[in-house]
């Protein structure tokens, strides 16, 4: 496969899909509280995506994934499966939303802090958001994928966090996952050259301890091998001549990029 350059009409559809995905995260925010189960969060998102937005929740039945969203708590790195487990005070949880509208995908995730979260967990959450933004700011026609990975790895490691290597960002469009692989580590100037019209996700996962992960027997849930906390944030980003356009930007982020 090779990297698909989107036409102006495809870009317009991706803007719509991205906006809808971002709106699911805005809608679910007030529900992410102590005592709610991740199944309940899944069901609220599912109903909103299907009935209000008239979209398809892309994770549902994707390669056998059983739910409509991913919910990854504490030491879960990514691909957590919603369950009857209740959120408790002190948890950090990533909610990852991917919707399909008119054949095109929007993919975005953010961290939520539940109740009273310890300063060390909050710091992991906010540094992970910052490294995502730093990665996004590298994006422009002529830059390379290595430029993105390099700033993410450098800033994460300068803050004594490790970067997960087994999972990466991806091209996105008609397909949930398409070329290229967007690594969250690497060297400036290396890798594929970005061109206007490419659309990629940037979705770094940072661990408080070592970078190594293992996948549980459900075949999906990825956790840190050393049981340390992990955080992830994700946006879908269009490459432009001048720089980037974040297709999944939320209202709360208007001053941040
Ligand atoms: N949304 C994830 C990503 O960012 C992929 C989830 S695959 C699923 O790429 F099947 F777990 F939903
Ligand atoms: Co993604
Ligand atoms: Co995602």
Identify whether 3 is part of a domain.
Answer: no
Indicate if ligand 1 lies below 6 Å from the C-beta of 96: yes
Nearest Cα residue to 218 out of 99, 83, 39, 112: 83
Identify whether 194 is part of a domain.
Answer: yes
pLDDT of residue 176: 98
> Does residue 186 come out as left (phi exceeding 0), alpha (psi in the -120 to 50 range) or beta?
left
Residue range(s) defining the domain that contains residue 211:
8-253
Indicate if ligand 1 lies below 6 Å from the C-beta of 192: no
Average pLDDT, the chain: 98
Nearest Cα residue to 55 out of 18, 86, 9: 18
Which atom number of ligand 1 is nearest to the Cα of residue 69? 12
Identify whether 163 is part of a domain.
Answer: yes
Identify whether 133 is part of a domain.
Answer: yes
Region 200-207: mean pLDDT is 99
Indicate if ligand 1 lies below 6 Å from the C-beta of 167: no
Region 107-113: mean pLDDT is 99
| pLDDT surpasses 90 at 47 | yes
> pLDDT for 146-201, tens place per residue?
999 999 999 999 999 999 999 999 999 999 999 999 999 999 999 999 999 999 99
Region 204-215: mean pLDDT is 98
CA of 113 to the centre of ligand 1 (A): 21
Q: Whose CA is nearest to atom 11 of ligand 1?
A: 79
pLDDT of residue 257: 84
Q: What is the pTM of this model?
A: 0.98
Identify whether 152 is part of a domain.
Answer: yes
Whether 210 and 228 have beta carbons less than 8 Å apart is answered as: yes
- Report the CATH number at residue 210: 3.90.230.10
Q: How sure is the predictor about 114, in pLDDT bands with cuts at 50, 70 and 90?
A: very high
Report the domain count for the chain.
1
Identify whether 22 is part of a domain.
Answer: yes
Identify whether 1 is part of a domain.
Answer: no
Identify whether 248 is part of a domain.
Answer: yes
Indicate if ligand 1 lies below 6 Å from the C-beta of 91: no
pLDDT of residue 256: 84
pLDDT of residue 255: 86
């Amino acid at each position: 496969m090779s990297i698909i350059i989107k036409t102006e009409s495809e870009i317009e559809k991706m803007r719509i899909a991205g906006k809808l995905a971002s709106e699911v995260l805005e809608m679910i925010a007030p529900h992410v509280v102590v005592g709610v189960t991740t199944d309940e969060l899944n069901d609220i998102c599912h109903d909103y995506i299907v009935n209000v937005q008239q979209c398809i929740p892309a994770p549902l039945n994707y390669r056998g994934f059983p739910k409509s969203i991913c919910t990854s708590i504490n030491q879960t790195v990514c691909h957590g499966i919603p369950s009857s487990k209740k959120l408790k005070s002190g948890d950090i949880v990533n909610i990852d939303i991917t919707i399909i509208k008119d054949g095109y995908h929007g993919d975005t995730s953010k961290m939520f802090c539940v109740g009273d979260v310890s300063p060390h967990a909050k710091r992991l959450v906010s540094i992970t958001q910052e490294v995502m933004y730093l990665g996004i700011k590298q994006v422009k026609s002529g830059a390379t994928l290595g430029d993105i990975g390099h700033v993410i790895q450098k800033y994460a490691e300068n803050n004594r966090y490790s970067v997960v290597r087994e999972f990466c960002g991806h091209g996105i469009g008609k397909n949930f996952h398409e070329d290229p692989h967007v690594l969250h580590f690497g060297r400036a100037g290396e890798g594929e050259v970005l061109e206007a019209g490419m659309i990629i996700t940037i979705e770094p996962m940072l661990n408080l301890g070592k970078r190594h992960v293992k996948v549980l027997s459900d075949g999906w849930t990825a956790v840190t091998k050393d049981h340390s906390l992990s955080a992830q944030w994700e946006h879908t980003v269009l490459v432009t001549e001048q720089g980037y356009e974040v297709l999944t930007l939320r209202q709360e982020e208007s001053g941040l990029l």
